[in-house]
């Protein structure tokens, strides 16, 4: 007969194998549900972006040796429905508004900064209709000035599941503006292709 330790080892091996199969099943079915609900093609509308530029001398706002640094903040409107991102394996969704731009001294470099974020824990709260929301974060660049930069604003999200890896995505509908001393100019609407 088998000893007690062999029986415990056999039982724990079977339990671990069964748990691995369950984890793979949960991850696969939640991914399929997201694809079925077209979660990766969620539309969004980012409108009424108003920029403000402030000169800050604090090192917490990018200043070095007391030299003033341009800081950018925005006001914006946002409309989107992120409820397709929620299924039975979703713990919470982290949604954030980013601005992407190229460097002036080195145009081949791209920077991406976060202006606003929110954690959504329930699918009932996933429909966002925000008006005149102030950005949470002041943004500065390593280069001297922010005025004259062309920023492309994108709404991105991150699904944090109960089981499985983090799932990253981006909503359809970007907005591009050029920062001109506090007021937006050359506003462009863009739609991401559904390929």
Q: Give tens-digit pLDDT for 44-66.
A: 999 888 888 877 766 666 667 77
Question: Is 4 contained in some domain?
Answer: no
Q: Average per-residue pLDDT in the chain?
A: 85
The two three-digit tokens of residue 66, written as one number: 């007391």
Question: Is 6 contained in some domain?
Answer: no
Question: For position 186, what pLDDT does the model report?
Answer: 40
Count of CB atoms situated within 10 Å of the CB of 157? 23
Residue 77 Cα distances to 97, 130, 184, angstroms? 11, 5, 14
Stated as kind and residue range, the H or E segment containing 139 is: none
Domain count, the chain: 1
Question: Is 7 contained in some domain?
Answer: no
pLDDT at 86 over 50: yes
Question: Is 62 contained in some domain?
Answer: yes
The two three-digit tokens of residue 139, written as one number: 């943004």
């Amino acid at each position: 007969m088998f000893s007690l330790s062999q029986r415990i080892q056999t039982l724990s091996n079977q339990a671990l194998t069964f748990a691995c199969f369950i984890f793979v099943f949960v991850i696969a079915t939640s991914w399929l549900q997201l694809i079925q609900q077209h979660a990766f093609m969620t539309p969004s509308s980012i409108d009424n972006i108003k920029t403000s530029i402030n000169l800050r001398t604090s090192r917490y706002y990018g200043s070095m040796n007391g030299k003033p640094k341009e800081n950018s903040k925005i006001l914006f409107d946002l409309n989107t429905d992120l409820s397709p991102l929620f299924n039975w394996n979703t713990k919470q969704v982290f949604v954030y508004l980013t601005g992407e731009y190229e460097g002036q001294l080195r145009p081949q470099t791209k920077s991406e900064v976060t202006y606003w974020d929110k954690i959504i824990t329930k699918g009932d709260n996933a429909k966002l209709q925000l008006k005149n929301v102030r950005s949470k974060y002041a943004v500065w660049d390593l280069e001297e000035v922010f005025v004259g930069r062309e920023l492309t604003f994108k709404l991105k999200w991150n699904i944090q599941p109960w089981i499985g890896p983090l799932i990253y995505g981006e909503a359809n509908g970007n907005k591009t503006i050029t920062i001109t001393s506090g007021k937006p100019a050359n506003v462009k609407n863009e739609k991401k292709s559904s390929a």
